[in-house]
Amino acid sequence: MIGLQQLAAFALAAFILIVVPGPSVLFVVSRGISLGRRAGVATVLGNEVGAFVQVVAVALGLGAIVASSLAVFTILKLVGAGYLVWLGIDAIRHRRSLALTVAGQVTPKPVRRLFRDGFVVGATNPKVVLFFVAVLPQFVDPHGAAVPLQVIALGAVFVTIALLSDGAWAIAAGTAGRWLAREPRRLARLGGVGGLVTIGLGLRLAATGRND
């Protein structure tokens, strides 16, 4: 289906791109520290499923529409940015309840909601679409299997590497959050900082262009 050399070259390129902390990692870390390992891992799972939806979209040719249409790109970008800003504001509003949640006095956010948040962020990130549109075709073998199948296979490799890398970040952040939870005020401040980071990520996404 795909040559081993091509697969290894793509896996190396994806690994280099993924292990360098970026906005996605910052989002996962902020949620892991403030809401715990469970929340961080659920966010990662949702984020990667959302990214894989983009892989399928690229394989079906929809990614090219995002890449070529400024209007579609802008709408997708603003939806994702707005959702990040909303999540950040929500985190700041509820920062004082973090300690109560850790202590078991407040019911934590359900996994379904955490997964959904990660999914929306992953599925509406237009920069990921552009990466897939620009990079995936370079590793497709024109003499191999059907191109859409090769794109999906390469995308699955990317998502798997991202799942392992981001999952490690989420677990590490959640572990640090447990230590920070010993001091309620410190955890509240951290929740506020995490909210500001998330808002900043949303504003950064809203301000970026297709060539950034």
pLDDT in tens, the chain (212 residues): 566 777 788 888 788 777 766 667 777 877 887 778 888 899 999 999 999 998 998 888 875 665 567 777 777 778 777 877 877 787 777 666 555 554 444 456 788 899 998 898 888 877 677 777 777 777 777 677 777 888 888 889 999 999 998 999 889 888 877 666 566 566 666 667 767 877 887 787 677 665 55
This model's pTM is above 0.75: no
Angle between helices 23-35 and 184-207 (to 10 degrees): 160
Each residue of 175-194: pLDDT tens digit? 877 666 566 566 666 667 76
Each residue of 13-54: pLDDT tens digit? 788 777 766 667 777 877 887 778 888 899 999 999 999 998
Estimate the share of the chain in helix, then strand, then coil, as percent rounded to the nearest 5: 85, 0, 15
Domain spans of the chain?
4-12+28-205
d(CA 107, CA 15): 37
d(CA 192, CA 179): 17
Q: Compute CA distances 31 → 35, 166, 171, 195, whole Å.
A: 5, 12, 11, 9
Question: In Å, how far from its chain's centre is CA 203?
Answer: 16
Q: What is the pLDDT of residue 35?
A: 78
Residue 3's SS3 state is: coil
Q: Strands, DSSP E only, in 109-151?
A: none
d(CA 27, CA 60): 28
